[in-house]
Chains A and B, each alone.
Chain A
Amino acid sequence: MRQDRLIFEHGRPGRRAAAQAPATAVQTGELPADMLRQQPPRLPEVSELQAVRHYTRLSQKNFSIDTQFYPLGSCTMKYNPRASNSLAMLPGFLQRHPWAPDGQSQGFLACVHELQGMLRDVTGLAAFSLTPMAGAQGEFAGVAMIRAYHRARGDGERTEILVPDAAHGTNPATAVMCGFSVRELPTDADGDVDMQALREALGPKTAGIMLTNPSTLGVFERRIREMADLVHEAGGLLYYDGANLNAILGKSRPGDMGFDVIHINLHKTFSTPHGGGGPGAGAIGAGERLQGFLPIPMAAREGSRYRWLTEDDRPQSIGRLSAFMGNAGVILRAYVYARMLGAEGMVRVAEFATLNANYLMSRLRAEGFQVWFPQRRASHEFIISLKRESRELGVGAMDFAKRLLDYGYHAPTAYFPLLVPECLLIEPTETETREELDGFIDAMVAIRQEARRDPELVQGAPHGLPVRRLDEVRAARDLDLCWAPDAAGAT
């Protein structure tokens, strides 16, 4: 396989990309010597071409939506329109300083304000703030708002947040960051929250519940209204984790289900890129009871002028989550996408994401794979379990996942949710063609045949990628987190 040296190892002392810094080195006579750095930092010393070639080559070692089908459950890896990128990077937006006066920011503020309104209408909440910088920060804002609400009512006894056992890890982690303890709720055989357990858990300590709908099990929580009533009767509030909004966009509204506060991952449902790990945006919406607590700043319109609402306008706010106003460039990309879809386009997202998921599920079932909830409709995603293949052939979910890479498909999410043994969570999204789905099904069938004939082939996969399976135990034990010239010589 092709090994790429580190950028540092391409360098030679004194080499530079000379066009990129001031041509002459200026003196800094005023700065006292004891303030100055003595040893220059160890950074690469490469030419512009060397850097361009190195990072181009590195990019070619990635799978991505632009190059592969990427059915990663819970992540909504759909096409990221290129128009969103080029329009968010227009010079006027890129050069605008975040502290520029409102008068010099009307174009940007108009986009923020309109997106706030579109998200409000499509989810059925009362108001939106776009400042959270990812889903988890949206969760943080929402749960902090629930806490602020109870406090404002002088209700300090509510110390617990309920979370289904299938929930994403950020949910319990968020509850703890907001000073709550977590109480887990079991799931029933159909994939819904166990109502009896919910009734037993609710009480004077309940601050609220965090739910995803459709859940991370890929099915719609059918008794959501009943749950909302129970939680509200107990004095708690409902938080909606909008990671799965793609499944119901425009078809069903979290506000109508009884949720008090929600976040939306704009980097999922609104097609902004994942960028190899981020950035995202976790827009947060609230109903009447909680809207005063939304994080600042928010955009407001007064006549034909837009302005930022800050502390003075919103005294109950939980405060600021970022130095400025969140991930502005992500918000602009989502705005462009939303305007290109319009109302009808938003409903179609849910329809075709659901069509693709149910088609894939039906066909995989027909090919003999075990669909985990065969009695249920798929939402925009679904779960299969490779328990049988694991037991009979010694080839489990991880092996299928790795072998799929050799077939040119990114692996579905494996081993999440933790409840289902040997599971793959598969989310095709609405932007994939039927041919692509058929190709994926063929690959799954072919891998199972390989597993019968030659299990070691699958257990040892991938074979055709830049590296084979990595020694993760060694990575965590002999920590190598930072390049050093001598160490590099040794290996």
Chain B
Amino acid sequence: MPFIPHTEDDIREMLAAIGVPDLDTLFDEIPAELRAGRLPPLPPALQEMDISRLMQERAARDQTGPCFIGAGAYQHHVPAAVWQLATRGEFYSAYTPYQAEASQGTLQLIYEYQSMMCGLMAMEVSNASLYDGASGLGEAMLMAVRANQKIRSGRILIADSLHPVYRQVAQTVVGNQGVTLESLPLDAASGVIDTDALPPIDDVVAVVIPQPNFFGRLEAVDRLTDWAHAAGALVIGVVNPLAMALLRPPGEWGERGADIACGDGQPLGVPLSSGGPYYGFLCCRRSMVRRMPGRIVGRTVDLDGNPGYTLTLQAREQHIRRSRATSNICTNQGLVVTASTIHMALLGAEGLRRVAARCHEQTRALVQTLCELPGVRPLHQGVCFHERALDLGQPAGPVLERLASRGVMGGYPLGQHDPAQANAVLVCATECITEADIRAYRDALADVLREAA
């Protein structure tokens, strides 16, 4: 019996100790009409060797190799030590650290994680993680609604340069709580919010500012932050955490800094893994910590006065506060945070900065090389971090399909969010991309464009 250790003797003796004749009697409180008869045919049990063969076949069928797709998930080098340590049984198979004395490893690690995120974001407080960047943005909005006590309108203004899927997910999360999401329009030519044409705002709870934005472009975060603050709105920065090793972090935006910083932690040591598990990070001002969703670890002392770590401010959470909790979140993304913490410790500030700078340079090289091809040109002018939208001069969807069949994951088609951009593709090159990969992309694209013409 897979994973069940009982021998025939065990079963007999245990049933006798309970005082029942057979296993079935243990289910005699379930009414007869609710006892499942035969289940619909499920596949037969496989031995480890057989499931291994099946999974290897399936994994081999899927995409591998250089990847020029970004749009929210990025291929980076992850040190071998990161997941070897994270999948140690003591991290991998532990529960949430409710019994603090038996969980000091996880608790100290989360405290270190919180400290690293505060450093990277230049913010005062971090929680222990939310599910992912997109749903975390929804939680950040609900937190802003609780925290901005002067403005009760429930209106949140979102820069149109935010990842469109983030907006969709946030809408699902906040949609039933009287929060309305409104648009701060984008300047189509530059791909950023035009700070010379900012509309007057009034009665807005918070403004959501991405950096870099969905198109890889850099927003004028200082002016946007000061403009939002002047109107009494809070500022929620949605950022790529790797980029913050290179670019000015949310805590330093404008005169007073952003109030909340969030985003997806995937670029910090988490493989693409078909979409997850990643994690959402969330940082804020210290004055807002009691409005925060999710777990938080604090340092304290034990009975002997020695330092130790424990979950704290639990009165915010569902297991204490129930219907009045700041969120329903319970299980978070702990193991992924474990990996990310080890990743940040190994890379350090200088390592992360080098990776970020290399991504920026590789993307510049990629864009330059691809734009040598006739008909290919950048969609927007101005600087980017490590992604850029290109106009291919013909519908991007079929081009990307043909590239994929040649083993090139060419980018993210923008037409699915905006039919006017049917010819546009968002490309990305990380530090994993070599000059040879870039040349291979250019050659494949040249062929595909020629065939189509």
Contact = CB atoms under 8 A, between A and B. Distances in A.
A391 interface: no
A486 interface: no
A475 B299 contact: yes
Contact of B94 (A63, A225, A319, A481): A63
CB-CB nearest 3 A-B residue pairs:
A275-B335, A66-B89, A277-B334
Interface string A74-87: 01011111010101
Contact of A173 (B72, B90, B318): B318
23 contacts: A20-B346, A22-B431, A41-B122, A54-B345, A108-B62, A121-B41, A122-B42, A170-B318, A224-B34, A225-B31, A274-B331, A276-B334, A277-B96, A277-B333, A278-B129, A279-B276, A319-B169, A321-B131, A322-B135, A323-B132, A432-B5, A475-B300, A481-B297
B233 to A, nearest CB: 23
Given A56-B88, A480-B299, A355 B15 contact: yes
A110 interface: yes
B13 to A, nearest CB: 8
Contacts of B346: 17, 20, 46, 48, 51
Contacts of B30: 220, 222, 248, 251-252
Contacts of A106: 58, 61-62
Contacts of B2: 340-341, 345
Contact of A96 (B10, B99, B106, B274): B274
Interface in B19-34: 19-20, 23, 26-31, 33-34
Contacts of A101: 400-401, 404
Contacts of A324: 72-73, 132, 274-276
Q: Which of A35, A57, A168, A358 has the most chain B CB atoms inside 10 A of its CB?
A: A35
* B interface, size bucket: 35 or more
A37 B249 CA distance: 7
Given A44-B344, A169-B325, A16 B59 contact: no
Interface stretch (A283-291, A326-334, A444-452): A326-334
B184 interface: no
B59 to A, nearest CB: 3
Contact of B303 (A147, A280, A468): A468
B177 A179 contact: yes
A94 B277 CA distance: 11
Q: Which of A59, A219, A432 has the most chain B CB atoms inside 10 A of its CB?
A: A59
Interface string A279-323: 110000000000000010000000000000000000000111111
A126 interface: no
Contacts of A93: 59, 62, 273-274
A289 B79 CA distance: 48
A475 B48 CA distance: 46
A92 B358 contact: no
Interface string B52-65: 10111111111111
A36 interface: yes
B344 A43 contact: yes
Given A51-B345, A277-B106, A483 B90 contact: no
B149 interface: no
Interface stretch (B160-168, B191-199, B442-450): B160-168
Given A43-B352, A177-B177, A329-B273, A87 B51 contact: yes
A85 B48 CA distance: 12
Interface in A71-116: 72, 75, 77-81, 83, 85, 87, 89-101, 103-108, 110-111, 114
Interface in A376-397: 376-377
Nearest to B5: A433
Given A17-B347, A276-B97, A279-B277, A170 B330 contact: yes
A59 B91 contact: yes
A405 B99 CA distance: 9
Interface stretch (A193-201, A232-240, A459-467): A459-467
A355 B44 CA distance: 24
Nearest to B7: A434
A3 B63 contact: no
B58 A108 contact: yes
Interface stretch (B112-120, B202-210, B369-377): B112-120
A16 B348 contact: yes
A359 B129 CA distance: 38
A489 interface: no
Given A7-B112, A225-B34, A323 B5 contact: no
B420 interface: no
B28 A377 contact: yes
Interface in B69-114: 69, 71-73, 75, 77, 79, 81, 83, 85, 87-97, 99-106, 108-112, 114
Contacts of B252: 37
Contacts of A91: 59, 64
Given A46-B345, A295-B172, A323-B163, 6 more contacts: A1-B306, A51-B345, A121-B42, A176-B323, A182-B322, A474-B300
Given A31-B383, A66-B92, A250-B36, A470 B100 contact: yes
A4 interface: yes
Interface string A342-368: 111111111110111011001100000
B176 A342 contact: no
A205 interface: no
Contacts of A252: 27, 30, 34-36
Interface in B316-348: 317-325, 327-338, 341-342, 344-348
Contacts of A224: 34
A358 B26 contact: yes
B155 interface: no
A351 B18 CA distance: 14
A257 B33 CA distance: 9
Contacts of B331: 134-136, 265, 267, 274, 277-280
B112 A8 contact: yes
B338 A275 contact: yes
B245 interface: yes
Contacts of A77: 93, 95
Interface string A1-31: 1011011100000001101111011111011
A107 B57 contact: yes
Given A137-B131, A179-B176, A430-B3, A104 B92 contact: no
A133 interface: yes
A323 B134 contact: yes
B246 interface: yes
Contact of B276 (A100, A328, A432): A328
Contacts of A420: none
A226 to B, nearest CB: 10
Interface in A249-267: 250-253, 256-257, 265, 267
Given A107-B60, A468-B304, A481-B298, A325 B275 contact: yes
B96 A276 contact: yes
A480 B118 CA distance: 13
Q: Which of B19, B132, B404 has the most chain A CB atoms inside 10 A of its CB?
A: B132
Interface string A412-433: 0000100000000000001111
B289 interface: yes
B43 A339 contact: yes
A22 B354 contact: yes
B262 interface: no
A460 B303 contact: yes
Contacts of A352: 1, 4, 6
B44 A342 contact: yes
B262 to A, nearest CB: 12
Contacts of B304: 468
Contacts of B156: none
A339 B135 contact: no
Interface in B401-440: 401, 404-405, 409, 412, 431
